[in-house]
Amino acid sequence: MTLEARVTARTAELVAEIIEHKKNSSRAGAVEAIGRLKARLVDLAHIVKEGPVNDWANVGPKAKLRLDEWIAK
């Protein structure tokens, strides 16, 4: 699986988790979980912005390492 596909898949998982927590927002810890998940997405935005990740075929080694670490979390 390509780096782009892995990042896209992980992003979709996080968004799905946020939606699930919002559906169960009365559950203890839901608000905190949503905050943590949103922070992960903000981290991704920073990595992509600093990357540069304009062209997934030419992602630099430093950005690739940061993206791999982000996916693994």
Domain boundaries, the chain: 3-72
Half-sphere exposure of 68 (CA within 13 A, CB side): 9
What's the predicted TM-score (pTM) here?
Answer: 0.84
CB burial class (10 A; 0-12, 13-18, 19+) of residue 2? exposed
What percent of the chain lies above the pLDDT cut of 70? 95
Look at residue 9 in the predicted model and tell me its pLDDT. Answer: 96
Instruction: For the chain, give the mean pLDDT.
Output: 89
Look at residue 53 in the predicted model and tell me its pLDDT. Answer: 61
